[in-house]
Amino acid sequence: MLWSRTRLISCLICMIFALGLSVAHAQEGYRTTYTVKRGDTLSKIAKKKDCSVRKLKRWNRLRSHRLRVGQKLTIYSLTPVRPMRIVEYRIQRGDSLIKIARKFGVSKRSLRRWNRIRRGRTRLVAGRTLKIHVPGPENPSETHGRPQLGKLVNGEQLKSGPGYRVRNAKKAWGANHVITHLMTCLPKVKKAFRRMHPVVIGDISRQHGGKFPPHRSHQNGLDVDLSYIHKGIRKLKNFKRATRENLDIAKTWFMIDTFLKTDAIEYMFVDYRLQELLYKHARNKGYSKRKLKETFQYPRGRGRTKGIIRHSPSHKNHIHIRFKPSPTPQATIRKRHSARFGSHSS
C-alpha cells in the first residue's frame, strides 16, 4: 500500500526531529539507559546517576514525576559506558595502590573492592597479582612495533562524545587504553568549562595500523592528533592555526594537564611559541620549577630533547599526543565470559 503524501512527510519530520534530539543531547554525555526499579523516584535516580531532575525530565520528555517499574529512561553520563574485562596485574617494586589506579585509569576504591584490600592496608607485595577491571572489548588491542613502523591488532574505534568530535571515524582507531583516556579526559574539560567548542579529534591510526601517509608515525594506535581550544568559537570544523590572540590558554592548558595527570603520555608535540604561553600559564597555576622542567621543553630551545611537551614542526594547528604503550601487556587477560561460564576446553 502506498503511503499518503502527508503521512510520509509527517514521518520524515518525525525522523528529523528524533535525529535532531539525539544530536542536541550528544554533547551532554554518553547515552545510557536506566530501567526504573521498585521504590525509585526521579530524585533518587538523579542522585544515583549524578544529574539533575530537570535534566532527567528533559531527556525523557517527562511531564510529571510519575514513574513505573520497568520504564526505560535515557540518561547522559560523563563516564563512558563500555564493556569490561578483567586483567591480572603483577605488582612491581615501588608500586602503590594510587600508582596502579592511575596507570589503569580506575579508582583506588575500586582496586580495594576487586581485591578485597581493607582500608589502611596499603602495603603491596611485589610479585603478587591484583585483579583489575579494564574497559574495552573482549579481545584487547595489541600495539606492535614503533609509531613509525608498526601495526595495531584489535584496535578500537573512537566515536564523537561529550566535548569532542571525531573528524573521520575511519582514521580514528587506537589501542584500548588510548581510547579510554580520550573518552574520560575530554568530557572532564567540557565539564569544567561548559562554554567551549568540541575538541576536534584528527587522525589516530588506521584500523589495522601500518603506513598512514602523510604521517610518519600514527602506525600502532598510540598517536592522536587533536585541535587546540580556541577563544570565541562555538563550532570548530577542522584544525585551526593557534595564535597568541585566538588560543584559549586556560582551557588548552587544562586539557593538556588532564592528559598529563593520567601518567600515560610519552610526548606531546606543541609548537615552541605556543609552549611559551602554556608554560607561563602553568607557572601561574602553581606548577613547581621541577614539574615545569619535567613537563616542558621550553625554555631550553626547540631542538632540545627534554620534557614531555616538545616542539615539532607543523604543530601550529594541532597537538599531537603520543601515549605510552599500554600497561596491560604485563597483565594476563582473563576474559569475563570464561570467568562466568567456566573455561573452554579445546
Segment contacting Zn ion (CB under 5 A): 96-104, 152-160, 217-225, 229-237? 217-225
Q: With contacts defined by CB under 5 A, how many residues of the chain interact with Zn ion?
A: 2
Segment contacting Zn ion (CB under 5 A): 37-45, 165-173, 218-226, 337-345? 218-226
318 and 202 in contact (C-beta within 8 Å)?
yes
Place of cell 543531547: 25
Those residues whose C-beta lies under 8 Å from the C-beta of residue 301, and which sit 6 or more positions away, are none
CA–CA distance, 132 with 84 (Å, rounded to integer): 10
Query: Which CB atom, from 120 or from 214, has the smaller least distance to Zn ion?
Result: 214
What are 321's strand-pairing partners? 224, 268
CA–CA distance, 49 with 211 (Å, rounded to integer): 42
Segment contacting Zn ion (CB under 5 A): 35-43, 142-150, 256-264, 314-322? 314-322
262 and 271 in contact (C-beta within 8 Å)?
no
State yes or no: residue 310 binds Zn ion (CB under 5 A): no
Retrieve residue 272's grid coordinates: 615552541
CB-closest chain residue to Zn ion: 320
Query: Which CB atom, from 225 or from 248, has the smaller least distance to Zn ion?
Result: 225
219 and 145 in contact (C-beta within 8 Å)?
yes
Segment contacting Zn ion (CB under 5 A): 25-33, 36-44, 274-282, 320-328? 320-328
DSSP state string for 303-346: T---SSEE--TT-SS-EEEEEPPPSGGGSEEE-HHHHHH-PPP-
Q: What is the DSSP letter of 10?
A: H
Site string for Zn ion, 222-241 (x = CB under 5 A): ---x----------------
Give min distance, CB of 263 to Zn ion, in A.
Answer: 21
Query: Which CB atom, from 41 or from 168, has the smaller least distance to Zn ion?
Result: 168
Query: Which CB atom, from 201 or from 249, has the smaller least distance to Zn ion?
Result: 201
Segment contacting Zn ion (CB under 5 A): 58-66, 111-119, 220-228, 270-278? 220-228
Site string for Zn ion, 177-206 (x = CB under 5 A): ------------------------------
Q: What is the DSSP letter of 96?
A: -
Query: Which CB atom, from 78 or from 179, has the smaller least distance to Zn ion?
Result: 179
With CB under 5 A as the contact rule, the residue among 320, 321, 326, 327 that binds Zn ion is 320
Query: Which CB atom, from 34 or from 212, has the smaller least distance to Zn ion?
Result: 212
Query: Which CB atom, from 103 or from 240, has the smaller least distance to Zn ion?
Result: 240
Segment contacting Zn ion (CB under 5 A): 42-50, 150-158, 316-324, 335-343? 316-324
CA–CA distance, 335 with 8 (Å, rounded to integer): 48
Give min distance, CB of 136 to Zn ion, in A.
Answer: 23
Query: Which CB atom, from 124 or from 152, has the smaller least distance to Zn ion?
Result: 152
Comparing CA positions, the residue from 164, 269, 189 lying closest to residue 223 is 269
Query: Which CB atom, from 28 or from 225, has the smaller least distance to Zn ion?
Result: 225
Give min distance, CB of 170 to Zn ion, in A.
Answer: 16
Give min distance, CB of 315 to Zn ion, in A.
Answer: 8
Give min distance, CB of 224 to Zn ion, in A.
Answer: 8
182 and 199 in contact (C-beta within 8 Å)?
no
Those residues whose C-beta lies under 8 Å from the C-beta of residue 194, and which sit 6 or more positions away, are none
> What part of residues 59-98 is at the interface with Zn ion (CB under 5 A)?
none
213 and 227 in contact (C-beta within 8 Å)?
no
What are 134's strand-pairing partners? 85
Which residue type is seen at 94? G
253 and 223 in contact (C-beta within 8 Å)?
no
Q: Which residues bind Zn ion (CB under 5 A)?
A: 225, 320
